[in-house]
Amino acid sequence: MTRLIFLGPPGAGKGTQAQTLAAFLQIPHISTGDILRQAIQEKTDLGKKAQSFMDQGELVPDKLVEDMVEERLKKSDAQTGWILDGFPRKVTQAEFLAKLLNSLGQGGEQVVNLDAPDETVITRLLGRGRKDDTEEVIRRRLEVYRDDTAPLINYYSDRQKLLTVNGNQSQEEVFTDLKNIIAG
**Enzyme catalytic residues:** 14, 89, 128, 130, 141
| Closer residue to ligand AMP, CB minimum distance, 81 or 86 | 86
**Interface with ligand AMP includes 86 (CB under 6 A)?**
yes
Segment 98-157, which members bind ligand AMP (CB under 6 A)? Answer: 141
The binder of ligand AMP chosen from 5, 46, 65, 162 (CB under 6 A)? 65
94 neighbors 155 (Cβ within 8 angstroms): yes
- Least Å from the CB of residue 184 to ligand AMP: 27
State the angle between helix axes of 62-73 and 45-55 in degrees (0 to 180), rounded to the nearest 10: 130
The binder of ligand AMP chosen from 2, 47, 49, 53 (CB under 6 A)? 53
Buried b (16+ CB within 10 A) or exposed e, 107-125: eebbbbbbbbeeebbbebb
**Interface with ligand AMP includes 18 (CB under 6 A)?**
no
**Interface with ligand AMP includes 162 (CB under 6 A)?**
no
Say how far apart CA 126 and CA 108 lie, in whole Å. Answer: 36
> Under 8 Å CB-to-CB from 83, ≥6 apart: which residues?
2, 4, 5, 6, 18, 21, 22, 25, 27, 28, 29, 30
Helix (H, G, I), strand (E, B) or coil at 134: coil
CB count within 10 Å of CB 150 equals: 16
| Closer residue to ligand AMP, CB minimum distance, 23 or 180 | 23
The binder of ligand AMP chosen from 4, 21, 39, 60 (CB under 6 A)? 60
**Looking at 31-39, 121-129, 152-160, 176-184, which segment touches ligand AMP (CB under 6 A)?**
31-39
User: Quick one: DSSP state of residue 112?
Assistant: E
**Interface with ligand AMP includes 36 (CB under 6 A)?**
yes
Positions touching ligand AMP (CB under 6 A) are 10, 32-33, 36, 53-54, 57-60, 65, 86-89, 93, 141
